[in-house]
Amino acid sequence: MVDLSRIKEHDEVIGADGVHVGTVDHVDGHRIKLTKADSGAEVVEGSGGHSGHHHYISTGLIAGVEDGKVRLSANADVAITFEEEEQDG
């Protein structure tokens, strides 16, 4: 179990392959809210509607936290398929 208190604002989120997924805005319950400006859109070819709003990553995907990096248990291209998008409400 990862100690979520070790995750800090502006930590880099990377896939198991070391590829950048996003930047932490904050931990929101059992999810990491990624910053709107850096929310994994560059991992998806032709980001289109994937950018411009917040995305969330489940803390269940976290393999470890160290040196300002949150490493996920899945490669970046797979991890972003598990992202949840911010809902308008």
The enclosing domain of 67 has a CATH number of: 2.30.30.240
* pLDDT grade for 84, boundaries at 50, 70 and 90: confident
- pLDDT for res 67: 92
As a whole number of angstroms, the distance between CA 23 and CA 9 comes to 8
- pLDDT for res 38: 77
Nearest CA-CA partner of 28 in 54, 47, 50, 56:
56
Note the pLDDT tens digit of each residue in 22-76: 999 999 999 999 998 876 545 554 444 455 678 999 999 999 999 999 999 999 9
Residues 57 and 83: beta-carbon distance below 8 Å: yes
The range of the structural domain enclosing residue 41 comes to 4-85
Write down the pTM of the prediction. Answer: 0.83
Q: How many domains does the chain have?
A: 1
